[in-house]
Amino acid sequence: MAAIGFGLSKDAFTSLMKEGPHLLAPTGSNLLRHGSEGTVFAGFHYDLNFLTIHGRSRFPGLNIWLRNGKKMEVKVPVGCLLIQSGKQLEWLTGGECLAGMHEVVVTKRTLEAIELAKEQNRSLWRISSTLFSHIASDATLKPLGHFAEAPNAHSYPPI
C-alpha cells in the first residue's frame, strides 16, 4: 500500500523485504517499580529499520516528533496501529519520508492510567509489542523510482 501511495510499483518495498531480519520485540516495564513521572524507558531516537509498527499499550507514554519539531503524545485508538518510518524507508525515499523520532517516558497521563489500573486491580506492567520490519540485509538501499530525483537524493547514495 505504501509503494502504491508513493507512485511506485506495488512490490517496490515488499520485494526488498523478502527474507529481511524482521523482529517482533515485546518489552515490559514494571510501573509499580519504575512508575515515577519522567522515568525514561526509551530515550529520544529513531529506528534504523524500514517500518516500526507500534501496537496500542495499556499505559500511555509514547511521544513522537513531527517534521516541524513539535513533540506530540501518541494516542493509538483501540484496534489500530501506529506505523513509523525508519531510516531504511528514509533512504529509499531520498529523504522525502524521514525516520520518525520518538521516546517512551512516564508522563502525567501514565500516572493517571497507573491509578486507574490500581483501582481496577489490573497489572501495572506496561507491555509494548513492537514489530520492526527490515529490508533484506543483502539488498542495496538507494532512492527508488522518482525519489532518485528528490531534492536531497544526493544525500542518500547506494549502500
Residues 123-156 have pLDDT tens digits of: 999 998 899 999 999 999 999 999 999 999 999 9
- In the block, residue with C-alpha cell 508513493: 6
Burial of 130 (0-12, 13-18, 19+ CB in 10 A): buried
- Give pLDDT, residue 120: 97
Domain ranges (residues) in the chain:
1-155
Burial of 43 (0-12, 13-18, 19+ CB in 10 A): exposed
Q: pLDDT tens digits, residue range 38-63?
A: 999 999 999 999 999 998 888 999 99
Output the nine-digit C-alpha cell for 70. Answer: 513539535
Q: Which CATH superfamily is domain 1-155 in?
A: B-lactam Antibiotic, Isopenicillin N Synthase; Chain (2.60.120.330)
One-letter identity of residue 134 = H
- The span from the CA of 141 to the CA of 156, in Å, is 8
Q: What share of the chain has pLDDT > 70, as a percent?
A: 100
